[in-house]
Amino acid sequence: MRRDLLLGSFLPIGVALSALAACQSSPATSAPAAPASVAPSAAPTPAAPTSAALATQAATAQSYTVRIVAGDAKAGQAGKSVVEVTPAAGFHMNLEFPVRLRVTPPTGLTLGKADLSKEDAELTEAALRFSVPFTASAAGKVSLEALGDFSVCNDTTCKLFRDEKLAWDVDVKI
């Protein structure tokens, strides 16, 4: 009798943990990071993408677009780039998601803030915008890289994007 009572009390906990594990591993709510870049890379041509990679790129392309305005910059003066994420038709930005942009400063460039959060963003259902203030120490081309976290939703699901790779170039004038 006591053994039945103990087993009966652990059964609901096991069912709840199984359900929680199934929810957290659902592929419908998250997608692997896919690079979103506005500047072509000088790196060697990559191998042809696999069908899984093409499916991920198609899912990403259907749910949001990224536009980066590099901004005008002069050596020794403050400049600003703008990173904008726009949801595709049928989607909206998830206002509850803790959006973030982590910018890696290259040599010769000082960022106003490297880790931007929801408080630093302009976030509406129509778009997410981060202003990235910087000062370059010398003239020339400066390449910036960042990782973004955001989420877009439609009527049936939300897609979470973490560590989305972004890259852009700024032409710093004299």
Letter string b/e over residues 77-88, b meaning 16 or more CB atoms within 10 A of that residue's CB: eebebebebebe
Is 17 inside a domain boundary?
no
**21 pLDDT higher than 90:** no
- Angstrom distance (rounded) from CA 79 to CA 2: 72
- The total number of structural domains in the chain stands at 1
In this prediction, residue 127 carries a pLDDT of: 98
- Rounded average pLDDT over 57-74: 83
Structure tokens at 120: 């630093």
63: closest CA among 26, 34, 104, 83? 34
pLDDT in tens, 24-42: 333 344 444 444 444 433 3
- Angstrom distance (rounded) from CA 96 to CA 108: 36
pLDDT in tens, 149-165: 999 999 999 999 999 99
Is 80 inside a domain boundary?
yes
Is 18 inside a domain boundary?
no
Domain coverage including residue 89: 32-38+52-173
For residues 90 and 43, the model is more confident at 90
Label residue 19 by pLDDT band (50, 70, 90): very low
For residues 123 and 8, the model is more confident at 123
Is 127 inside a domain boundary?
yes
- Rounded average pLDDT over 92-105: 97
CATH number of residue 164's parent domain: 2.60.40.10
**166 pLDDT higher than 80:** yes
What pTM does this model have?
A: 0.67
Is 19 inside a domain boundary?
no
CB of 130 closer than 8 Å to CB of 83: yes
Of 53-62, 79-88, 122-131, the range with the lowest mean pLDDT is: 53-62
**108 pLDDT higher than 90:** yes
Is 83 inside a domain boundary?
yes
> Quick one: CA torsion of 166, 100, 150, 82, rounded to 10 degrees?
-50
In this prediction, residue 61 carries a pLDDT of: 55
Is 6 inside a domain boundary?
no
pLDDT in tens, 53-65: 444 445 555 899 9
- Rounded average pLDDT over 118-127: 98
